[in-house]
């Protein structure tokens, strides 16, 4: 239903270009939940903003984003705007803190409906109340202000807002980051229930691979703007073919609610300069002579399973 092919995004930055997304490709099937995972700065948000046609003017984009076979990037804003919110909707990173403090939550859910001609007036207000009920908030709270909601409730309301125009695909960017563990679990449960009940496909973007494992059937792991590995969650867990995937599973997220994965030493490379060899090799516990000099290609390593790692080309004894 959604097919991303050779997606590239560059940002103009002082002194040159930053290549934030480098040949990303994946398919999303109807009703499917897929994770897009990787540490901060790997290009996850940029990827999904590109799908929505919401990148800033400093960005250039190449590649194709096919929605039911139609390339929504082909003619820029003209081709993407009919689909934005109506077919593909997004819960922005930090959405729960982005409500307008002087407008009621209900009126902010009504806004996208009126803007996109889905409903207006009383009908829209009724729908907003229904959407709130659907995400577990009493519809009577539609006339309350954001500060009267807890963080978890604001995140639920942000999800309701994304669903205002009945999209087929929901892109959820770090929807549980900065919430405490109990509330995180409730939001994940909500996303599973909503996608099941509405037949909605979802891309769950997070730095937390174990979170993806709870919710999604499949994931693409991103590193330094590229897909490092993708496959069914079970396969990624039991048979990871990229050391980054294995290390992400082993990494323990900071329990104090900080949004960073603490335990992989080092940091991803800067994307405003060219990276030689495998971008992960300086942090990799399995790197060998080929890794700093030759970039591994993403290739099939099993059923629906791709990875970009030289270890998949050499017999195990040699690699170890
Ligand atoms: N508007 C922008 N201008 C310049 N660089 C950006 C912009 N947005 C993101 N970047 C850069 O693009 C890279 C990917 O960022 P992002 O997509 O936000 O990663 P993630 O969501 O995985 O944390 C980072 O190096 C980031 O600094
Ligand atoms: Mg992000």
Residue 205, in any domain of the structure: yes
- Which numbered ligand comes closest to the C-alpha of 177? 2
- Mean pLDDT, to the nearest integer, of 219-238? 97
CB distance 58 to ligand 1 below 6 Å: yes
Q: Which atom of ligand 1 is nearest to the CA of 45?
A: 21
> What pLDDT is recorded for position 262?
55
Q: What is the pLDDT of residues 49-90, one digit of tens each?
A: 999 999 999 999 999 999 999 999 999 899 999 999 999 999
Q: Which ligand is nearest to the CA of 174?
A: 2
Sheet holding 16-28, edge to edge: 16-28, 2-13, 59-67, 70-71
Rounded to two decimals, the pTM is 0.93
Domain assignment of residue 256, given as a range: 2-87+167-263
Residue 319: is its pLDDT beyond 70? no
pLDDT at residue 15 is higher than 70: yes
Residue nearest to atom 2 of ligand 1 (CA): 11
CA dihedral 248, 249, 250, 256 (to 10 degrees): 80
Q: Is the pLDDT of residue 36 over 80?
A: yes
Residue 6: inside a domain: yes
DSSP letters for 215-264? H-SEEEEEETTEEEEEEEHHHHHHS-SSHHHHHHHHPPBPTTS-SSB--S
At 105 the three-state DSSP class reads helix
Q: Is residue 240 part of a domain?
A: yes
DSSP string, 38-97: --TTSSHHHHHHHHHT---TTEEEEEEEEETTEETTTTTHHHHTTTBTTTEEEE-TTGGG
155 lines ligand 1 (CB under 6 A): no
Output the average pLDDT for the chain: 93
Average pLDDT over residues 108-127: 94
Rounded mean pLDDT of 188-211? 95
| 125 or 252, which is more confident | 125
Token representation of residue 259: 């949004």
Q: At what angle do helices 121-134 and 151-162 cross, to 10 degrees?
A: 130
Cα of 1 vs centre of ligand 2, distance in Å, is: 24
Residue 218: CATH number of its domain: 3.40.50.300
The residue among 246, 254, 248, 256 whose CA lies nearest residue 209 is: 248
Does position 211 have pLDDT exceeding 70, yes or no? yes
Token pair for 251: 């990494």
Report if residue 289 sits inside a domain: no
Q: Predicted confidence band at 39 (pLDDT cuts at 50, 70, 90)?
A: very high
Q: What is the pLDDT of residue 264?
A: 86
What's the rounded Cα separation, in Å, for the pair 146 and 143?
A: 10
Instruction: Tell me how many domains the chain contains.
Output: 1
Which ligand ends up closest to the CA of 12?
1
Q: Write the residue with the smallest CA distance to atom 4 of ligand 1.
A: 11
| Low-confidence winner among 8-12, 92-96, 255-259 (lowest mean pLDDT) | 255-259
CA 257 – ligand 1 centroid, Å: 22
Give the pLDDT score at 316: 56
Higher pLDDT, 264 or 296: 296
- How many Å separate Cα 233 from the centre of its chain? 15
Residue 250 is predicted with a pLDDT of 86
Residue 95 and residue 263: Cα distance in Å, rounded? 27
| Structural domain includes residue 300 | no
In the predicted structure, residue 222 carries a pLDDT above the cut 70: yes
Give the torsion sign (CA, 204, 208, 211, 212): positive
Residue 103 included in any domain = no
C-beta atoms surrounding 62 within 10 Å: 13
**What was the pLDDT predicted at 136?**
96
Answer yes or no: is pLDDT of 173 > 90: yes
Q: What is the DSSP letter of 272?
A: S
As a whole number, mean pLDDT of residues 29-43 equals: 96
- 310 with 301: CB under 8 angstroms? no
Which atom of ligand 1 is least distant from the CA of 46? Answer: 17
Dist CA 131 CA 127 (whole Å)? 6
Whether 301 is in a domain gets the answer no
Measured CA to CA, the distance from residue 87 to residue 139 in angstroms comes to 25
Closest listed ligand to the CA of 42: 1
Examine residue 154 and state whether it is found in any structural domain, yes or no.
no
Shortest-distance atom of ligand 1 to CA 174: 21
> Which helix (H) or strand (E) is 190 found in, with range?
helix 181-198
13 lines ligand 1 (CB under 6 A): yes
- What's the sign of the alpha-carbon dihedral 304, 10, 41, 311? positive
The whole-angstrom distance between residue 124's C-alpha and the CA centroid of its chain comes to 29
Q: Say if ligand 1 is within 6 A of residue 11 CB.
A: yes
- Could you report the per-residue pLDDT of 243-286, keeping only the tens digit for each? 999 999 887 665 555 555 557 889 999 999 988 999 999 999 99
What 238-242 contacts at long range (C-beta under 8 Å, 24+ apart), as own/partner pairs, is 239/302, 239/305, 241/301, 241/302, 241/305, 241/307, 241/309, 241/311, 241/312, 242/280, 242/307, 242/308, 242/309
- Taking residue 143's Cβ as centre, other Cβ atoms within 10 Å add up to 14
């Amino acid at each position: 239903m959604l097919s991303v092919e050779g997606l590239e995004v560059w940002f103009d930055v002082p002194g040159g270009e930053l290549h934030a997304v480098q040949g990303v490709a994946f398919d999303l099937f109807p009703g499917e939940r897929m994770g897009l995972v990787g540490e901060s700065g790997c290009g996850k948000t940029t990827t999904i903003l590109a799908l929505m046609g919401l990148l800033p003017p400093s960005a250039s984009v190449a590649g194709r984003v096919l929605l039911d076979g139609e390339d929504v990037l082909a003619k820029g804003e003209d081709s993407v705007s009919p689909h934005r919110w109506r077919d593909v909707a997004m819960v922005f990173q930090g959405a729960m803190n982005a409500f307008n403090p002087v407008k009621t939550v209900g009126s902010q859910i009504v806004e996208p409906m009126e803007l996109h001609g889905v409903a207006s007036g009383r009908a829209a207000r009724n729908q907003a109340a229904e959407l709130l009920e659907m995400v577990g908030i009493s519809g009577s709270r539609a006339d309350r202000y954001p500060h009267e909601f807890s963080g978890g409730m604001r995140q639920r309301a942000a999800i309701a807002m994304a669903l205002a125009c009945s999209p087929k695909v929901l892109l959820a960017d770090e929807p549980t980051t900065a919430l405490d563990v109990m509330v995180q679990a409730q939001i994940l449960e909500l996303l599973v229930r909503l996608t099941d009940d509405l037949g909605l496909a979802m891309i769950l973007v997070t730095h937390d691979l174990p979170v993806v494992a709870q919710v999604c059937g499949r994931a693409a792991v991103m590193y330094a703007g590229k897909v490092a590995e993708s496959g069914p969650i079970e396969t990624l867990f039991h048979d990871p073919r990229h050391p980054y995937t294995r290390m992400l599973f082993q990494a323990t997220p900071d329990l104090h609610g900080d949004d960073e994965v603490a335990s992989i030493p080092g940091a991803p490379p800067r994307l405003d300069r060219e990276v030689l060899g495998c971008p992960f090799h300086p942090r990799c516990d399995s790197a060998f002579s080929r890794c700093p000099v030759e970039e591994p290609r993403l290739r099939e390593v099993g059923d629906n399973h791709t990875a970009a790692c030289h270890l998949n080309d050499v017999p195990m004894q040699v690699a170890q």
